[in-house]
Structure 1
Amino acid sequence: MHAMQYDITLPADYDMGVIRTRVATRGHLLDDFPGLGLKAYLMRERADGSPVNQYAPFYLWAEAAGMNAFLWGPGFQGIVNDFGRPVVQHWTVLAYDEGPATAAAPRTATRRRHPLPAGIAPADAVAEALERHAVRAAGDGVVATALAVDPRHWELLVLTVRADTSPGIPDAPDTDRFQVLHLSAPGRSGLGAGRSW
């Protein structure tokens, strides 16, 4: 399973209603996209206390073929046409779990990216992250959560989608908070649960 995200940072005075309209009119187009586990249409804005206005869709791909079909097809080209070509970040998924609020509509998401400590064996750092992931997944209000790693930069990613606006486990200082505008989840039921190996 692959996680993927691109951040489109917009001007401070950008009308974020444009992003809301974009998602409201186009978000459904990926509701049955082959190979897609889920796509969370994420947005954060300065009006809510974010340091930036940003559109930051997050994807979990069940298959690399689906990810490739999206990136080299008309879906991603629409992003390129409208905003320029963003850097596409991607990670290998270590674990995915549904939470107690799995049946609820998601409203917010948190994202944390942080380096694996240099002085600890990668397997030990991942084992510790998996323990924290299990606790997070069981938290009140959690719809779903994913833990992933970028071994090129030795970076861990934690994305948690929630049915409410509370942060759940207290946010670390480097946690980004987003609104969830829509969730396309054609392959969500096939993502499996727990660690990915």
Structure 2
Amino acid sequence: MHAMQYEITLPADYDMGIIHRRIATRGHLLDGHPGLGLKAYLVRERGLDGSPVNQYAPFYLWRTVEGMNAFLWGPGFRGVGADFGRPVVRHWLGAGLRRGPAAGAPATATRQAVLLPEGADPAEAVGHALAELPDHPDLHTAAVAVDPDRWELLRFALWRDAAPDEVPGTRYRVHHLSSPELDRLPAGRHW
């Protein structure tokens, strides 16, 4: 599994209806994309849920590198570049996945990225993060991933309703979920 995200931060007075329409008209295009576990169409709006910015920040869990490459080098990502300029694409190696009991379309997401201290054992930190994946009735899906270039640990979760207050991280609203191969992503630890 590979996690990927790019964030397009928009002006404070940007009409976020443009992003909502973009997702409504184009979101379905990845509903059957080969190799894609899930794409959560994430949005932050200034003044909502404590967000200081307007942002379009899709998050992906890829089942295959081929699927990820087909997206990045194909027409979908070219459209993002044509409309907003080519964003920096963050990438993490998948370390584990938990499927939650909440079915249907998630309404919110949380993402927390922390740098591992230099003396920390990465395997121990990842194991600890996996053990701490939320076990909550509103959880749809949760993942742990690592960027070994920066030794950054990522926790990502999708929620049926509002994320629980005790869950740390950046909060997003989910405007669409494409999940053609989510059921083929292995649950549990990925090594």
Tell me the TM-score normalised to structure 2 length.
0.96
Q: Aligned partner of 1:151: which letter?
A: P
Structure 1 unaligned regions, length at least 5: none
Does 2:84 correspond to 1:83? yes
Q: Give the conservation status (yes or no) of the 8 Å contact 1:139–1:169.
A: no
Asked whether 1:8 is paired with 2:8, we answer: yes
1:109 equivalent in alignment to 2:109 = yes
Cα separation, 2, equivalents of 1:119 and 1:140: 35
Indicate conservation of the 8 Å contact 2:126/2:144, yes or no: no
Contact 1:117/1:125 (CA < 8 Å) preserved in 2? Answer: no
Q: For residue 169 of structure 1, report the CA deviation from its aligned partner.
A: 5.9
**Which of 160, 167, 173 is the matching residue for 1:171?**
167
Secondary structure of 1:125's partner? Answer: helix
Distance in structure 1 (CA, Å) of the matches to 2:110 and 2:12: 21
Picking from 115, 131, 139, the partner of 1:142 is: 139
Amino acid paired to 2:139:
V
| Cα distance in 1 between the residues matched to 2:21 and 2:47 | 17
Could you tell me how far apart the structure 2 residues matched to 1:115 and 1:99 are? 26
Provide the rounded CA distance (Å) in 1 between the counterparts of 2:184 and 2:90. Answer: 23
Structure 2, unpaired ranges of 5+: none
Verify the 8 A CA contact 2:4 2:61 in the aligned structure 1.
Answer: yes
Give the Cα–Cα distance (whole angstroms) in 2 for the partners of residues 182 and 193 of structure 1. 22
The Cα offsets for residues 107-132 of structure 1, whole Å up to 9 and x where unpaired, read as: 00001011112222112211211211
Report % sequence identity.
59
1:23 Cα deviation after fit: 0.3
TM-score, reference length from structure 1: 0.94
Match for 2:187: what amino acid? A
| Partner in structure 2 of residue 182 of structure 1 | 176
Q: Which residue of 1 aligns with 2:24?
A: 24
- 2:56 partner letter: Y
Alignment check: 8 A CA contact 2:140 2:160 kept = yes
CA distance in 2, matches of 1:37, 1:98: 12
Q: CA deviation at 1:100?
A: 1.5
Aligned residues: 190
Matches of 1:170 and 1:118 in 2, distance apart? 27
Distance 1:146 1:67, change over 3 A: same
1:124 has 2:120 as partner:
no
How many angstroms does 1:40 deviate by? Answer: 0.2
